[in-house]
Chain A
Amino acid sequence: MSDGQLKAYYVYSPWLRIFHWLMVMSIVVLFFTGLYIGNPFFIGSQGLEPTYAFSERLSMETVRFIHFAAAFILVCAFVLRVYGFVVNKGDRLLPRFWTKQHWAWTMDIMLHYMLLRASHKPYLRNPLARMSYLGVYFLIGIEAITGFTMYVMVDPKSIWGQSFSLVNSLLINEYYVHLIHHYVAWLIIIFAVVHIYMAVRADFMEREGEISSMFSGVKFLAHQPVDLGEIATEEDSLVRYWDNIARDSRPHSG
């Protein structure tokens, strides 16, 4: 089936792409504002820095406001992304843990990343990455739950306060909620580092168009992706989509 030529596959719906970038932006903002909230500092090493911060209009109040605004954006993006998961088959990322194939593919990828295998099978959505996305969704979920627990408890009587106060009891007390929120923030950032590297690597090493795919929705693969069936209703529709566009602009073999 291989013809040595790059073939274009349309993977990501605009829906997914919009919310991916919204999530990226909000997480970056949340992380930096969060760090500031955890330890309000300002350029300078000693003394009464935050006071100067205040005079520079970077007060705790402002930073917390930005953090909370970003938090709402993140949560909305997150929810809408999950909605996309339901309606667009292409947006599905849930790894198929229950299949033997999933684990075989994961092994394939891992061996590749451990530099023990020169290349891996062609995937539209690499199973290892899919697991890591599930993981990071989980982390984002923890951040949202712990974050909102701290956020809504200004009014413990409210319906939100009453619901989230259970989180406080569950995690012993709210101090642990704060700790978990803080620790998990770092885990997300560490994910991001590796994640960006993988994307860049895929682009440069395998010329899969990973980065641009998050903008355009399209990935380029030389071979037919093995997981095509999981992602798309029928492979042709994917290819055809590209073909329709490409027919006019460049010659196409296959």
Chain B
Amino acid sequence: MQTNNSLWELFQKRGLSRRSFLKTCAMITGLLGLSPLKCTEVVAAAEEKNLPVVIWLHGHECTGCDESFLRSQTPLASDVILNMISVEYDDCLSAAAGEPFEQHFKEIIEKYAGQYILAVEGGVPLAENGIYCMVGGRPFVTVLKEAAAGAAAIVEYGSCSAWGGIQSAKPNPTNTVAVSQIVGGTTIVKVPGCPPIPEVMTAVIMHFALFGQLPPLDTSGRPKQFYGNRIHDTCYRRPFFDSGMFAERFDDAGAKAGWCLYKVGCRGPATYNSCGNMRWWNGLSYPIQSGHGCIGCSNNGFWDNDQFYERLPNIPISATIANADTIGAVATGVAVAGVVAHGALSVVEKYKRQRQSKPEEERRP
């Protein structure tokens, strides 16, 4: 028995005979519309693996990434899950729960050691030994390390996994970090976004299915084909930016006309994602097309780049609202006033000294 959970093993688990196993194989052969001669091949297949095994873990997350994955149109999520990979462990979709599910996890990571792909959704809380996220009675960080040890590659799905995400925003009450801050030693593919675009998520697997290898990555570990450019450099509103045509407020004439959202805080100029070119739902829309600036949801630490409606954040100075430009202008004003005052004082001082203590100056070398 070289594979786990093969049909044969299932039969064994249920205490069923080899005979009934072979009978079932014959039935399946018929079902598949194959000639009875193929029966031996079916029997062999029933004992063998063929699809890349994927383990999908959930840490500190909101499951939006899982949902996004399911929304993929090309390839369809069903084609991915049923035909490109074998998702052997995913607490969002798996039928099994509890003890047998955990048992299955252990078997899978042993049996496929060094071969499976580990997909992780969610950040890793470290505070108090990781007890802020417990899975099967153990800290998620422990489970993660266990699964990562035998992973052929790790995919960090979503900004939580890739950067720490929402829970790691200030003050990060659970001390959550990115997956790659905890595990290493193998290729890690970052697929950030909150959530990432569905087709970007599945395309990582599609690439693997098509070419048998992980997609080329940029210096941060993101697939270049999806995170290679800034949204700003691919945005359909860019001509308006270049022409200086901006929505000044939501729902003003510029907003209706679909002008650039720069002045209402768009983070497109600093955000690497495929929203501008691919868009969501195979080209249907993306936040900017729907009238809201990008909030930079695929960027490291983007949550702490708030407020989202300002290009320059307000700087907290007791109960006033000021950004770098107001503060800069004031500071420059103060500097000007300061030097003028200093100049005046210097003149007065010098005048006084010249009148009273000429000898002192004489004494100096």
Contact with A along B207-233 (1 / 0, CB 8 A): 000000000001110001000111001
- Which A residues are in CB contact (< 8 Å) with B300? 169, 172-173
- B233 close to A154 (CB less than 8 A): yes
Chain B: interface residue count, which band? Answer: 35 or more
With A165-B220, A173-B301 as contacts: A194 and B335 at CB distance below 8 Å: yes
A51 to B242, CA, bound (A): 11
- Which A residues are in CB contact (< 8 Å) with B254? 48, 51
A57 to B335, CA, bound (A): 34
- Which A residues are in CB contact (< 8 Å) with B339? 193-194, 197
The residue that A118 contacts in the complex, of B224, B230, B302, B353, with Cβ under 8 A, is B353
| Contact residues, B309-343 vs A (CB, 8 A) | 311-313, 324-325, 327-328, 331-332, 335-336, 338-339, 342-343
- Which B residues are in CB contact (< 8 Å) with A201? 342-343, 346
- Which B residues are in CB contact (< 8 Å) with A39? 263, 311-312, 325
- B311 close to A50 (CB less than 8 A): no
- B244 close to A190 (CB less than 8 A): no
The residue that B357 contacts in the complex, of A46, A118, A190, A223, with Cβ under 8 A, is A118
- B365 close to A2 (CB less than 8 A): yes
| Contact residues, A89-124 vs B (CB, 8 A) | 113, 115, 118-119, 121
- A40 close to B262 (CB less than 8 A): yes
The residue that B244 contacts in the complex, of A60, A173, A194, with Cβ under 8 A, is A60
A153 to B230, CA, bound (A): 8
Q: Does A6 contact B (CB under 8 A)?
A: no
- B302 close to A175 (CB less than 8 A): yes
Distance (whole angstroms) from the CB of B250 to the closest CB of chain A: 14
- B311 close to A38 (CB less than 8 A): yes
- Which B residues are in CB contact (< 8 Å) with A223? 365
- Which A residues are in CB contact (< 8 Å) with B325? 35, 38-39, 186
Please name the residue on chain B nearest to A177 by beta carbon. Answer: B270
- B324 close to A182 (CB less than 8 A): yes
Contact with A along B227-246 (1 / 0, CB 8 A): 01110010000000111111
With A115-B346, A118-B349, A179-B312 as contacts: A60 and B243 at CB distance below 8 Å: yes
- B244 close to A166 (CB less than 8 A): no
Distance (whole angstroms) from the CB of B269 to the closest CB of chain A: 7
- Which B residues are in CB contact (< 8 Å) with A150? 269
A100 to B311, CA, bound (A): 46
Distance (whole angstroms) from the CB of B13 to the closest CB of chain A: 48
The residue that B305 contacts in the complex, of A58, A175, A189, with Cβ under 8 A, is A175
With A39-B311, A53-B244, A172-B301 as contacts: A178 and B269 at CB distance below 8 Å: yes
The residue that B324 contacts in the complex, of A2, A53, A186, A205, with Cβ under 8 A, is A186
- Which B residues are in CB contact (< 8 Å) with A38? 311-312, 325
- A189 close to B332 (CB less than 8 A): yes
Looking at A153, A200, A223, which has the most chain B CB atoms within 10 Å of its CB? A153
With A39-B263, A186-B328, A201-B346 as contacts: A48 and B248 at CB distance below 8 Å: yes
Distance (whole angstroms) from the CB of A79 to the closest CB of chain B: 26
Q: Does B128 contact A (CB under 8 A)?
A: no
| Contact residues, A212-228 vs B (CB, 8 A) | 223
Q: Does B350 contact A (CB under 8 A)?
A: yes
- B299 close to A175 (CB less than 8 A): yes
- Which A residues are in CB contact (< 8 Å) with B122? none
- Which B residues are in CB contact (< 8 Å) with A121? 365
A51 to B248, CA, bound (A): 11
- B335 close to A190 (CB less than 8 A): yes
With A119-B361, A173-B300, A175-B267 as contacts: A54 and B349 at CB distance below 8 Å: no
The residue that A59 contacts in the complex, of B229, B243, B349, with Cβ under 8 A, is B243
| Contact residues, A145-163 vs B (CB, 8 A) | 150, 153-154, 156-157, 162
- Which B residues are in CB contact (< 8 Å) with A236? none
Q: Does A183 contact B (CB under 8 A)?
A: yes
Distance (whole angstroms) from the CB of A125 to the closest CB of chain B: 19
Q: Does B296 contact A (CB under 8 A)?
A: yes
- B332 close to A173 (CB less than 8 A): no
Contact with B along A65-88 (1 / 0, CB 8 A): 000000000000000000000000
Distance (whole angstroms) from the CB of A155 to the closest CB of chain B: 9
A58 to B364, CA, bound (A): 57
- B248 close to A169 (CB less than 8 A): no
- Which A residues are in CB contact (< 8 Å) with B350? 118, 205
Q: Does B360 contact A (CB under 8 A)?
A: yes
- B331 close to A50 (CB less than 8 A): no
Q: Does B253 contact A (CB under 8 A)?
A: yes
Interface residues of B (CB under 8 A from A): 218-220, 224, 228-230, 233, 241-246, 248, 252-254, 262-263, 267, 269-272, 296, 299-302, 305, 311-313, 324-325, 327-328, 331-332, 335-336, 338-339, 342-343, 345-347, 349-350, 353, 357, 360-361, 364-365
25 residue pairs A–B, Cβ–Cβ below 8 Å:
A1-B365, A38-B325, A40-B262, A48-B253, A48-B254, A50-B244, A50-B245, A51-B244, A59-B242, A60-B242, A61-B244, A115-B349, A118-B349, A121-B365, A154-B229, A154-B230, A156-B272, A162-B219, A169-B219, A169-B220, A172-B301, A175-B270, A182-B312, A194-B335, A201-B346
A60-B242, A194-B335 given; name 14 further pairs at CB < 8 Å.
A38-B325, A47-B248, A48-B245, A51-B245, A150-B269, A162-B219, A173-B299, A174-B272, A175-B302, A177-B270, A178-B269, A186-B324, A189-B328, A193-B332
A-B CB proximity, top 8 nearest: A186-B328, A197-B339, A50-B244, A174-B270, A61-B242, A173-B299, A175-B270, A59-B244
